Amino acid sequence: MQIGGANYLLPIDIGAEDASAVRDEAIPLQRILDDLAEARARFTLAIVDACRDNPFAGTGTGRMIAARGLAPTSAASGQMIMFSAGSGQQALDRVGPSDASPNGLFTRVLLRYMMQKNVPVDRILRQVRAEVVEIANSVGHEQVPALYDQAIGEFYFAR
The answer to whether residue 154 is domain-embedded is: no
The answer to whether residue 78 is domain-embedded is: yes
Which residue type occupies 62?
A: G
Q: Which residues make beta-bridge pairs with 48?
A: 83
The answer to whether residue 46 is domain-embedded is: yes
The answer to whether residue 24 is domain-embedded is: yes
**Residue 83 structural domain:** 2-149
Of 155, 91, 158, which is closest to residue 122 (Cα–Cα)?
155
- Kindly give the interhelix angle for 121-138 and 105-113, rounded to the nearest 10 degrees: 140
The answer to whether residue 138 is domain-embedded is: yes
pLDDT in tens, 98-137: 999 999 999 999 999 999 999 999 999 999 999 999 999 9
**How many structural domains comprise the chain?**
1
pTM: 0.84
Positive or negative, the CA dihedral 19, 142, 73, 115 is: positive
The answer to whether residue 157 is domain-embedded is: no
The answer to whether residue 107 is domain-embedded is: yes
The answer to whether residue 155 is domain-embedded is: no
